[in-house]
Amino acid sequence: MSFKAAAIQMCSGVDPVRNAADMARLVRDAAGQGAAYVQTPEMTGALQKDRAALRAVLRDEASDIVARTASDLAKELGIHVHVGSTAIALEDGKIANRGFLFGPNGALLARYDKIHMFDVDLDNGESWRESAAYTPGSQARVVSLPFAEMGFSICYDVRFPQLFQAQAVAGAEVMTVPAAFTRQTGEAHWEILLRARAIENGMFVIAAAQAGVHEDGRETFGHSMIIDPWGKVLASAGGTGEAVVTADIDLAAVKAARGKIPNLRNARDFSLEKVEAPATGGVAA
């Protein structure tokens, strides 16, 4: 089984209507290149540091313009459209960082809320507290599509290999990692983490990213990419601006990689003991 996948790179601003229009243009471009599955980045709908301003433009899931536009595109183009994520208003006043997968008839096939919150303190004073505004998800899922078993993650989730392994063990052949990686962390870790998750699970990884300097002042790393189960980068974009990267996904490569190195099957349960070394009372000669 094989199919063509596309990862769309965007530089989303603060206006969901404009971002939805940009997404539609890029999705049509990807479909024109033959993609049967198209993924957009994390926070496709809006990147906005100001939490009050963000809440002012948010809608619930039923009214969200990005989700509605993606559903319409999937039906119009006869493809699978995956909104990597967009901010969705919840009834309790908090926000969900939520991804949506729509099928060729426009129907919602799956939703996924980002599980791991980006609460970090980086160099040069860069600090983020995603948990202050967002409600974390608690449900991982693998979706059986006509062309692949697909697992889900969003951005910071990529640093938690247990999430990927659990989905691989459940049958996932393709893992999705839409993201808005900061430039600082992206330069250090983006490609390394993505290739590691692909290699250790023998799966394809598709990662659509935000790229460039955004209206709210943040800078994201870009370099959207598609990686095969052996860790080879099949397609990659640059670090700024819009892009559409595509690759042919041949699931025989999953079986081949897992056959050569069956680490998922060879994994063993184990116990862990922490041992306190006794003080020697002196310095060894």
In the chain the domains, ranked by start, together with CATH numbers, are 2-265 (3.60.110.10)
Query: What residues form DSSP beta bridges with 4?
Result: 248
Q: In this structure, are residues 14 and 53 in contact, taking their beta carbons and an 8 Å threshold?
A: yes
Q: What is the pLDDT of residues 233-255, one digit of tens each?
A: 999 999 989 999 999 999 999 99
Q: Which residue out of 4, 11, 149, 155 is catalytically annotated?
A: 155
For residue 249, which phi and psi values (nearest 5 degrees)? -100, 110
What is the distance between the terminal CA atoms of the chain, rounded to a whole angstrom? 65
Q: What is the pLDDT of residue 58?
A: 87
Question: Residue 282 — pLDDT band, cuts 50, 70, 90?
Answer: low
Distance of CA 257 to the CA centre of its chain: 22
Beta partners for 220?
A: 182, 212
pLDDT for residue 281: 60
This prediction's pTM: 0.93
Rounded to whole angstroms, what are the CA distances from 244 to 34, 54, 108, 167?
12, 27, 23, 27
Comparing 58 with 201, the larger pLDDT belongs to 201
Is residue 285 pLDDT above 60, yes or no? Answer: no
Q: From start to end of the chain, where are the E strands?
A: 2-9, 37-39, 80-89, 95-102, 108-113, 119-121, 127-129, 142-144, 149-152, 174-176, 204-207, 211-213, 219-221, 225-227, 233-236, 243-250
pLDDT of residue 226: 98
Catalytic (active site) residue 11:
no
Known catalytic membership, residue 155: yes
Which of 114, 149, 173, 219 is the catalytic position? 114
Helix (H, G, I), strand (E, B) or coil at 195: helix
As a whole number, mean pLDDT of residues 24-32 equals 98
> Residue 57 in contact with residue 16, Cβ under 8 Å?
yes
Mean of the pLDDT values across residues 51-57?
Answer: 85
Q: Which residue has the tokens 């969200």?
A: 64
For 36-62, what is the mean pLDDT? 90
Catalytic pick among 11, 42, 173, 219: 42
Higher-confidence residue of 57 and 285: namely: 57
Comparing CA positions, the residue from 152, 32, 165, 34 lying closest to residue 101 is 152
How does pLDDT run across 212-222, given as a tens digit for each residue? 999 888 899 99
Over the stretch 130-179, which tens digit does the pLDDT of each residue have? 877 889 999 999 999 999 999 999 999 999 999 999 999 999 999 999 99
| Residue 120 bridge partners (DSSP) | 128
Mean pLDDT, range 103-125, rounded to an integer? 88
With 70 as the cut, is the pLDDT of residue 54 above it? yes
Q: Quick one: pLDDT band at residue 74, thresholds 50, 70, 90?
A: very high
Spatial distance between the Cα atoms of 100 and 62, rounded to a whole number of angstroms: 12
94 a catalytic residue: no
Compute the mean pLDDT over every residue in the chain, rounded to the nearest whole number: 93
Tell me, what's the pLDDT at 283?
58
Across the range 33-57, mean pLDDT stands at 91
Distance CA(32)–CA(124), nearest Å, equals: 42
Structure tokens given for 183: 């430039």
CB 83 within 8 A of CB 100: yes
DSSP string for residues in 259-280 = HHS-HHHH---------PPPP-
Q: Is 223 left (phi over 0), alpha (psi -120 to 50) or beta?
A: left
Query: What is the pLDDT confidence band of residue 279, given thresholds at 50, 70 and 90?
Result: confident
Is the pLDDT score of 100 beyond 70?
yes
